[in-house]
């Protein structure tokens, strides 16, 4: 399995650090966002996929209520009381685990703390949702330690709350749901109003190519929360002018935007146009996948990125260079930024036989334009998070 080496490494490190072997282990994958950008917290639609990289969390019960959690890549340790975890700025990575522990403890008091350690192979800040992989792997490990029932939607919500209350990011549920509901060789279609999840098979002759720009993707310090506020303001505007309930931008059509956007702040109007257009592109993308129209699906990916660049303004020079190059490289069906934006990675839809040539061409173009290359890797749509034997 793709997590076997990580599990072996983190188990050895755990034994050296704590002097005993862990009793539970869990893995949660990262994700790529294939179509549907910033639509999740607008109660819209997203197509995404869990990938064959992620985070392993191993643990054993503590003798008391103390939690000791170690980041395996740097060896740093954070300690907190299982009954009252408090976020801090000294070990910000631990806030994700604290938030999950607090969420589970609020639902069923945890009698004991834990010794825990995590390790993964997702590059931080690459837009592949390393934070959600940490939250979900930690949540599954804590559930296993305390014999708690695993309700996947509940765990996704606990992970989201950890982001909101402990990390300061007002994210949607995309990352957590994809990590939990991923399926091998399938993409995940989520309706973020009803939280209905559907998996759609991908053609077996295509794969995804991830290009990490190394532009650090820091959602807390980025304009992510500002974009969310603009979407909420836009929904409130349409609720007033349409004279019917508008809970979120999911309730607004592009035709209605065309008719009523002129009374809005121009920036807020552009943000709304992106989200409304993305919801329509996801629905069209679902139709393309069911019909086997990969060329049509790829065109929607390119259109999605252009909307991110112009309307939502959450791209960056490096991502734009890569997508522009992908448009003319033979073998690329579609390409766009993946995730929150403001840096991170580009995802391209390609044929596996073209991975080496496409990856080399993209890296060369980025080096010529910016002075540095990108990391390129093929990723596979993979199964979701699980407790490991």
Question: For the segment 363-383, what is each residue's pLDDT rounded down to a tens digit?
Answer: 999 999 888 888 899 998 999
Report whether pLDDT(217) > 60.
Answer: no
Structural contact between residues 271 and 227, judged by C-beta atoms closer than 8 angstroms: yes
Q: What pLDDT score was predicted for residue 182?
A: 97
Give residue 358's pLDDT.
Answer: 96
Pick the residue with more confidence: 3 or 107?
Answer: 107
Place 251 in a pLDDT band, splitting at 50, 70 and 90: very high
Question: Interior CA angle at 214 toward 210 and 216, to 5°?
Answer: 115
Average pLDDT score over residue span 19-42: 96
**200 against 172, higher pLDDT:** 200
Split at pLDDT 50, 70, 90, the class of 222 is low
Q: What average pLDDT score do residues 162-191 get?
A: 93
Q: For position 231, what pLDDT does the model report?
A: 97
Q: What is the pLDDT of residues 98-137, one digit of tens each?
A: 999 999 999 999 999 999 999 999 877 656 788 999 999 9
What per-residue confidence (pLDDT) applies to 340?
Answer: 81
CB 29 within 8 A of CB 53: yes
Q: What is the mean pLDDT of residues 245-253?
A: 97
* C-alpha pair distances (Å), 198 with each of 36, 151, 176: 15, 17, 15
User: Would you call 320 a catalytic residue per the annotation?
Assistant: no
Please determine, for residue 344, whether its predicted confidence score (pLDDT) is greater than 90: no
pLDDT given at position 208:
95
Instruction: Please tell me the distance from the alpha carbon of residue 12 to that of residue 366, in angstroms, as a whole number.
Output: 39
pLDDT of residue 288: 96
Q: What are phi and psi of 4, to 5 degrees?
A: -60, -45
User: Is-contact 127 215, C-beta < 8 A?
Assistant: no
For domain 207-379, give the fold: Alpha-Beta Plaits (3.30.70)
Q: Using the predicted structure, report yes or no on whether residue 220 has a pLDDT greater than 50.
A: no
Average pLDDT over residues 140-156: 96
For residues 277 and 275, what is the distance between their CA atoms, to the nearest angstrom? 5
The residue extents of the domains of the chain are 4-200, 207-379
Pick the CATH number of 4-200 from 3.30.230.10, 3.90.950.10, 2.60.40.420, 3.40.1390.30: 3.30.230.10
What is the C-alpha separation between 121 and 130, in angstroms, rounded?
Answer: 9
Hunting for tokens 């993305």 — which residue is that? 278
Q: Is the pLDDT of residue 196 over 70?
A: yes
Q: Do domains 4-200 and 207-379 have the same CATH topology?
A: no
In the predicted structure, residue 1 carries a pLDDT above the cut 70:
no
Residue of 175, 293, 375, 383 with catalytic role = 175
Q: Tell me, what's the pLDDT at 218?
A: 55
Residue 185: is it exposed, middle or buried by C-beta count within 10 angstroms (0-12/13-18/19+)? middle
pLDDT above 70 coverage of the chain, percent = 97
pLDDT at position 126: 59
In the chain, the percentage of residues whose pLDDT exceeds 90 is: 84
């Amino acid at each position: 399995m793709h997590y076997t080496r990580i599990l072996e490494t983190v188990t050895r490190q755990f034994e050296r650090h704590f002097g005993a072997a862990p009793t539970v282990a869990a893995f949660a994958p990262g994700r790529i966002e294939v179509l549907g950008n910033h639509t999740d917290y607008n109660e819209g639609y997203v197509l995404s996929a869990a990938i064959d990289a992620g985070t392993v969390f191993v643990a054993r019960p503590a003798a008391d209520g103390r939690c000791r959690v170690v980041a395996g890549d740097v060896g740093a340790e954070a300690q907190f009381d299982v009954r009252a975890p408090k976020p801090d700025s000294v070990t910000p990575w631990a806030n994700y685990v604290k938030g999950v522990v607090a969420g589970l403890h609020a639902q069923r008091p945890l009698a004991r703390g834990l010794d825990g350690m995590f390790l993964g192979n997702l590059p931080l800040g690459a837009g592949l949702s390393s934070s959600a992989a940490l939250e979900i792997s930690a949540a599954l490990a804590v559930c296993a330690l305390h014999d708690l029932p695993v309700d996947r939607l509940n765990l996704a919500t606990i992970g989201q709350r950890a982001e909101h209350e402990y990390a300061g990011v007002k994210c949607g549920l995309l990352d957590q749901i994809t990590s939990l509901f991923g399926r091998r060789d399938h993409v995940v279609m989520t309706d973020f109003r009803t939280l209905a999840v559907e998996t759609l098979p991908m053609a077996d002759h295509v794969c995804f190519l991830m290009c990490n720009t190394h532009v650090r993707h820091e959602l807390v310090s980025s304009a992510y929360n500002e974009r969310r506020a603009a979407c909420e303001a836009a929904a409130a505007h349409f609720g007033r002018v349409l004279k019917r309930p508008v809970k979120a931008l999911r309730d607004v059509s592009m035709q209605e935007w065309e008719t009523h956007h002129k009374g809005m702040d121009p920036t807020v109007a552009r943000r709304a146009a992106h989200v409304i257009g993305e919801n329509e592109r996801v629905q069209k993308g679902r139709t393309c996948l069911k019909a086997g129209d990969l060329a049509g699906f790829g065109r929607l990916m390119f259109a999605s990125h252009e909307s991110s660049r112009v309307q939502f303004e959450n791209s960056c020079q490096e991502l734009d260079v890569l997508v522009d190059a992908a448009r003319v490289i033979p073998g690329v069906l579609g390409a766009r930024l993946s995730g929150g934006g403001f840096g991170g990675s580009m995802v391209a839809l390609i044929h596996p036989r073209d991975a080496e040539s496409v990856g080399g061409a993209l890296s060369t173009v980025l080096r010529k334009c910016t002075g540095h290359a990108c990391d390129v890797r093929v990723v596979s749509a993979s199964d979701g998070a699980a407790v490991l034997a």
